[in-house]
Amino acid sequence: MKIGILTGGGDVPGLNPCIKVFVHRAIDAGHEVMGIRRGWAGLLNYNPDSSEDQSEWVIPLTKNTVRTIDRFGGTFLHSSRTNPGKVKPSAVPAFLQPEFGGSEAATVDCTPHVMRVLRYLGIDTLAAIGGDDTLSYAVRLHREGVNVVGIPKTMDNDVYGTDYCIGFSTAVNRSVEAINLIRTPAGSHERIAVVELFGRNSGETALISAYLSGADRALIAEVPFDVERLGRFLVEDRADNPSDYAIAVISEGATMEGADIVERGEADAYGHRKLGGIGQRTAEAIKEITGVDTLYQQLGYIMRGGPPDPLDRMVAMSYANLAADLVLRKDSGNMVALRSGVYTTVPLDSITTRVKRVDVEELYDPEEYRPKVVHQLGKPMFLY
């Protein structure tokens, strides 16, 4: 077989080890692997009719190609948020403009071109590593008859159908370390600190990071918060602290009661605008309400930077082996997963059936804005 592999959406630590193990397994089994660069953009921009070098979009992968990539974070194949099923006419590659660029619709479906590229390259099976957005297009291709397997990754840990996504542990690890580092300036200047973490729709990363770091309050995307009440809580927390400071952790997708989500810019191919800034607004509001100086820190990309921690490395490598098993068995249309601490597989289209969010009743106190664990027995390792 000739097998394609790609990474799409936001990068996370663990992608490179996953790619390396997958490539080794496939080659050892006698197959050829092609790396599709920049996610789905690689297939959208590849021109089968061109005689020019197109290694910008697709490259052969050998053991030597991937020999050292597992030592680093990110994805050496690069990534994008491209959705070939919804391409703005102005973003259609020049060579496809005669066929797809003249539409007056907001977006055009370039999937027929993607199918042609896959046939031209002779790719028998495609392994897609991504979150909801990247894997949703993998589902589309599967329904079009393409052999596809999925590998879930996202630092938000919010892909439905699996208990764990590559990147989550490292993001929590980075966040807990940073939250505890913030204690030094917050305590030295006797301030209230607000630390903003990634988390568009799911507050799991912020919740678990706040829980593990012992932050005073946590604001998550699933529960709008009353900033006046939050301010009162943080003043009390600060007064109870011998060092005279308090810390609140907030998801970038959190909202104040009666207010909209803080986002900016143009929507991407999956309908998402840039988030970020709710922490700063919250810090400014708390200072105005309480009169206490505040400190605002947005962690952002630091959470997904650098090499994976041992847990993410282990899961990434295990997912790669499991995905390779699916490919070698020609078992298409499935996604590798962890369920109740056991490696397994689920139908790929599971990701489109429901959304994965924090279990507020079990894990969060919406009145006190704090993590809570109602029952420990039977909970998985990360409590999700």
Structure tokens at 31: 């197959």
156 given a catalytic annotation: yes
The span from the CA of 296 to the CA of 289, in Å, is 16
Cα–Cα distance, 54 to 34 (Å, whole number): 12
Q: Which residue is associated with the tokens 């879930």? A: 152
DSSP 52: S
What residues form DSSP beta bridges with 33? Answer: 3, 61
* Dihedrals phi, psi of 225, to nearest 5 degrees: -120, 150
Of 70, 156, 163, 216, catalytic: 156
Measuring CA to CA, which residue among 20, 361, 309, 326 is closest to residue 171?
A: 309
Q: What crossing angle do the helices spanning 310-328 and 168-188 adopt, rounded to 10°?
A: 160
The single-letter DSSP state of residue 98 is I
For 13-35, b/e burial (b = at least 16 CB within 10 A) is bbbbbbbbbbbbbbbeeebbbbb
- Give the integer Cα–Cα distance in Å for 166 and 129: 9
Show which residues are catalytic.
156
